Amino acid sequence: MRNRTVALAQIAPTLGDVRANLERHIEIADRARALGADVVVFPELSLTGYDLQDLVPDVAIPRDGAVLERLAVAAREIDVVAGFVEEDPEHRFYNAAAYLSRGALLHVHRKLHLPTYGLFQEGREFACGDTLRAFGTAHGTTGLLLCEDVWHSPTTWLLAQQGAALVIVAANGPSRGAHPDHGLTSTRVWRDLLRVTARFHTLFVVFVNRVGCEDGLSFDGGSLVVDPLGQVVAELAPLDESIECVSLDADVLRRARTASPLLRDARIEFLHREVGRLRRLRFDLPDEPGAGS
C-alpha cells in the first residue's frame, strides 16, 4: 500500500434526482482534488438517495451508461467512489457502489446483505450481490462494502485475505437513540464496530455515512477513518454535511501487521472444511467423500 489521502464526502443526496446528484458529485470531486485528495468517497446510494421504494426502476442505470461515463471524466485525476442503483441486462436491480479511476470504471460492488427488518425494506427492492472481490488501484489493493455488509465479519476477512489494505464502507445509517452525555447512540455503535473491524483485520477502514432526512428518516453522518491499530484518526461531526481530507500512512499498516500477524496465521483450509460441514448440516446435504464428520 502507498500513502494516500482520502476525502470523506458526508452529504445529503436529493431523493430520486440522479442528474442533480451527479452534478454535485462532480463539483465535490473537483473540490477534493484541489484539496490534494487521491480518492473521494460518497455515501451509499449517493446518486439516488435511499428511501426509493417505487422509484427504483426510474433511477436505475447500467454500469456502462452515460451517468457513470460522465462521472468517470471527473475521475481522471482523482478516484471516485459513488453509490447507485444498477440495472443489469436481465432488468434486476442492485444497490451498488462504483470505484472510478483514471477516467474509467474500475470496479462495481453489489450489496451482499440486504436488511429487510424493522424500518429497512431493501430485500423487497433489490437483488443480492453474490461476489466479493478486492481490486487493485494505483494506491494499493482495496475493498468496497455497503452498510450492512460490514456487520457480517466474514466480508472484511475475505477482502483482507485477498490483499486489501483499505476497506471502504459507504452507508446510509439512520439515527437511533441519543444520550445527553454521549450523543447519538447509533454513531457510537458504528464507531465501536469499525474500530474492532480495522484492528482485527489489520487494515484501514474508511466509513462514509450520509446525512439529511427522507420521509421522516434521519441519517447520522459521523463518518470516520480507523487505522489498522484500531485508532480513530478522523471523525466528522454527526448530522451536518461536511467534506474532510484524511491521510492514510502506509507505515501504520506495516506496524500493525508486524505486531499482529493475523492474516499470516489464518487457516483457510480448516475454515473451508468447517464451513462445508456446517453447510451440509444446515441444508441436510449428503457428506462429501472424505469430508469427515
- Domain ranges in the chain are 4-257, 263-293
What confidence category does residue 216 fall into, taking pLDDT thresholds of 50, 70 and 90?
A: confident
Chain segment 142-174, per-residue pLDDT in tens: 999 999 999 999 999 999 999 999 999 999 999
Q: Find where cell 439515527 sits.
A: 175
Cβ neighbors of 110 (< 8 A, separation 6 or more) are 86, 94, 95, 96, 127, 128, 129, 130, 131
Q: What is the rounded CA–CA span in Å between residue 277 and residue 287?
A: 8
- What is the model's pLDDT at position 287? 86
**Among the ranges given (61-70, 124-133, 284-293), the one the predictor scored with the smallest mean pLDDT:** 284-293
Q: What is the rounded CA–CA span in Å between residue 161 and residue 67?
A: 33
Q: What is the rounded CA–CA span in Å between residue 261 and residue 32?
A: 35
- What is the model's pLDDT at position 164? 98
What CATH number was assigned to the domain covering residues 4-257? 3.60.110.10
- What is the model's pLDDT at position 186? 83
The residue-averaged pLDDT of 82-88 equals 98
Q: What proportion of the chain, given as a percentage, has pLDDT over 90?
A: 91
The residue-averaged pLDDT of 244-255 equals 97
Q: What is the rounded CA–CA span in Å between residue 16 and residue 20?
A: 9
Whether residue 177 is predicted with pLDDT greater than 90 in this model: the reply is: no
- What is the model's pLDDT at position 259? 96
Q: What is the rounded CA–CA span in Å between residue 58 and residue 36?
A: 36
- What is the model's pLDDT at position 214? 93
| Phi, psi of 235, deg, nearest 5 | -150, 125
Whether residue 183 is predicted with pLDDT greater than 70 in this model: the reply is: no
* E-assigned strand segments in the chain: 4-10, 39-41, 79-87, 93-101, 104-110, 135-137, 140-146, 166-171, 178-179, 183-184, 204-209, 211-214, 217-220, 224-226, 232-235, 242-248
DSSP code of residue 240: S
- What is the model's pLDDT at position 181? 55
Whether residue 291 is predicted with pLDDT greater than 70 in this model: the reply is: no
Q: What is the rounded CA–CA span in Å between residue 141 and residue 159?
A: 9
Query: What mean pLDDT is reported for the chain?
Result: 95
Q: What is the rounded CA–CA span in Å between residue 187 and residue 235?
A: 11
Q: In sequence order, what DSSP letters do the residues of 101-163 get, joined into one string? A: ETTEEEEEEE-S----STT--HHHH-PPP-----EEETTEEEEEEEGGGGGSHHHHHHHHHTT
Among residues 22, 147, 141, which one has the least CA distance to residue 75?
A: 22
* CA 95-98-104 angle, 5° bins: 150
What confidence category does residue 289 fall into, taking pLDDT thresholds of 50, 70 and 90?
A: confident
- What is the model's pLDDT at position 178? 55
The residue-averaged pLDDT of 29-45 equals 98
- What is the model's pLDDT at position 86? 98
